[in-house]
A and B are shown apart, each in its own frame.
Chain A
Amino acid sequence: MQLKTDRLILRPLEEKDAADLFPVMNDPDVTANLLLPHPYPAEKVSAWIRSCHAAYEVCERYDLAVVRKDTGQVIGVCSLCKVSWEHLSAELVYWIGKPHWGQGFITEAARKVLEYGFLELGLERVCVGCFACNTASRRVIEKLGFIYEGTARGEYKKLGVRYDTLHFGMLREDITNASGD
């Protein structure tokens, strides 16, 4: 499987991506917004990629490397996680290296992954969440056409601090609105 957009290629993670992804997974500005542990040990990156691959083989997760066409560099990951074939639902997760922020790469990648989820996989619903303090992610989520569905107060605890989480959802019937712009 491989998806293409104007500037990106999206394809299942491979173990060789560990070299590009390790610095991203250890950037505190990236992990501040994620549930990843910090620091992320180098030897665990390959194991994590292997577990993603195993889950991909059984259609439980789709973790895609986000590759820049111009440089061939893997700049981040865009995933459909917690895929439920019973409920035809999944959760969108993404993260990308700081040098590539602010250029619309996440929006471009996520839009393609959503299209894949709804049109190829036949999902009914995709949800996405972000910490309430993560305004950049919220902007991306709204640009993608997600509908705000609520705020779970104090849902996560990181280093002793509780975080509120914003929850968003997109239904198959919403995607026509999202792809309109």
Chain B
Amino acid sequence: MLLETERLILRPIEETDVPALFPLINDADVARNLMRVPYPYPEEQYAPWIRKAREAMERKEQYDMAVVLKETGLPIGAIGFHDVVWSHMRAEMGYWFGKPYWGNGYATEAAMGMLQFGFDELGLERIHAYSFTRNKASANVLRKIGMTYEGSARHAFRKNGEFLDIFLFGIIREEFAARP
């Protein structure tokens, strides 16, 4: 499986991505916005996580892709569908990018690629995403790819002892098909 956008390649994450991705994910400013990523990230846990993600992909339970910059051939982050619920034909999308690559529209470009894959290839009917309300950049990405703000769950997540509010964004198949 390989997805291509103008500047990016999205392909299943591999254990060989650890040397390129680990320094990027083990970053306080990156982890601050993520639900599933601790900081500091114990290095010995990253390869096993990738292995588990690959197994989950074989079971079609999640789809974790490395995002590779065409220009350099280097992975710059990751994007995926988690919590794929086939009985309800929906999935949750999540992503992160290394700090040196922020502000170039890569998240928007990769996320558009994933929406296309989710709706057109997987046949999903709804894709949603969460972001901490303090993460304005991610909310912007979700709006830019055509997701609708659906609500905010107050104090729904505790990170480092602090209760955080979460934005919920979603897009349904018909909206994606009708995109400009």
Query: Do A and B belong to a common assembly?
Result: yes
Q: Are A151 and B151 in contact (CB under 8 A)?
A: yes
Question: In chain A, residues 78-115, which have Cβ atoms closer than 8 Å to a Cβ of chain B?
Answer: 86-89
A125 on interface, CB distance cutoff 8 Å: yes
Which residues of B have CB within 8 Å of A127?
153, 156
In the complex, A153→B174 CA distance in Å?
Answer: 11
Q: Which of A1-9, A22-30, A154-162 is the contact stretch?
A: A154-162
In the complex, A124→B153 CA distance in Å?
Answer: 12
Q: Are B152 and A150 in contact (CB under 8 A)?
A: yes
In the complex, A167→B155 CA distance in Å?
Answer: 14
A14 on interface, CB distance cutoff 8 Å: no
**B interface residues, how many (CB within 8 angstroms):** 21
Q: Which of B11-19, B25-33, B57-65, B87-95 is the contact stretch?
A: B87-95
In the complex, A167→B128 CA distance in Å?
Answer: 14
Residue of A nearest to B126 (CB): A154
B108 on interface, CB distance cutoff 8 Å: no
Type the 1/0 row for B115-137, where 1 means its CB is closer than 8 Å to any CB of A.
00000000001101000000000
Q: Are B150 and A153 in contact (CB under 8 A)?
A: yes
Number of A-B residue pairs with CB-CB distance less than 8 Å in the complex they form: 69
Which residues of A have CB within 8 Å of B126?
152-155, 162
Q: A87-B156, A124-B163 are in contact. Are A157 and B150 (CB under 8 A)?
A: no
Which residues of B have CB within 8 Å of A86?
158
Q: Of B89, B125, B163, B168, which is within 8 A of A150 by CB? A: B168
Q: A154-B126, A157-B88 are in contact. Are A87 and B158 (CB under 8 A)?
A: yes
Q: Are A149 and B158 in contact (CB under 8 A)?
A: no
Residue of A nearest to B150 (CB): A150
Q: Are A169 and B125 in contact (CB under 8 A)?
A: no
Chain A residues in the interface with B (C-beta under 8 A): 86-89, 124-125, 127, 147, 149-157, 162, 167, 169, 171
9 contacts between A and B (CB under 8 A): A86-B158, A88-B163, A150-B150, A150-B152, A150-B153, A153-B150, A154-B90, A155-B170, A156-B88
